[in-house]
Amino acid sequence: MATLPVMTGYLVLGFGFGIILKSSGYGIFLAFCMSLLIYAGSMQYVAIGLLTGGASVLTTALTTLMVNARHLFYGISMLGKYKKIGKSKPYLIFALTDETYSLVCRDHPKIPEEEVGRYCFFVSLFDHAYWVLGSVAGAVVGSLVTFNSEGIDFVLTALFLTVFLEQWLTTKKHTPALIGVGVSVVCLLIFGKDSFLIPAMLLIALLLCLYREEPNHE
């Protein structure tokens, strides 16, 4: 039941991913494999751009590194909880997406301690299933129905914008967000739209390492 909010989101976003991938000329099987094995929503949308744009292996690896770097930090914060989780631990680590993380990172006062592992396992499994189902359905529908899908890639812009806004609205310290936007715009103007991503990533990482967090007055 806890996964219901994620279900709608994953079915719809997965569906959108399937449709766009299909309309970019790739098959249903690729949609299935990507959702099953990558299982990282925003990265899969970015991946479509990399595939159609003919990106190199290096660009692909670096882009994945930056887009998914946040997973390192999800992992770090779940170290304690997943410590004594048993056999399902590798799967739980693999399936730790943004949305799943938002469900499993909470405290679960109503669930007895020995059941927490099982709970996290089923949350992860259900979310994974919604995502794969949504993307395959999208790819299938995309191959049956032809409609003017021009502009549907805005789904990704809108998705990132909502995450960005959510982070903005829930924190008082906006310097990191402004560094991200500012550095990217400057690099875009200097390096052009085809090659600004890597310098922007490096510069953002460097600036954030030097950045001193302001004391939190909340």
- What is the radius of gyration, based on Cα positions, of the chain? 19
- Is residue 136 at the binding interface for another protein, with CB under 8 A as the rule? no
Alpha carbon distance 168, 163 (integer Å): 9
Q: Which of 159, 198, 199, 202 binds another protein (CB under 8 A)?
A: 159
Q: Which of 107, 109, 144, 154 binds another protein (CB under 8 A)?
A: 154
- Is residue 33 at the binding interface for another protein, with CB under 8 A as the rule? yes
CB of 109 to another protein, least distance (A): 25
Q: Restricting to residues 176-215, which ones interact with another protein according to CB under 8 A?
A: 176-181, 183-185, 188, 193, 196-197, 200-201, 204-205, 208-209, 211, 213
- Is residue 47 at the binding interface for another protein, with CB under 8 A as the rule? yes
Alpha carbon distance 208, 188 (integer Å): 19
Site string (57-76) toward another protein, x via CB under 8 A:
x--xx--xxxxxxxxxxxxx
Alpha carbon distance 66, 204 (integer Å): 10
Would you tell me how many other CB atoms lie within 10 Å of the CB of residue 130? 23
CB of 101 to another protein, least distance (A): 10
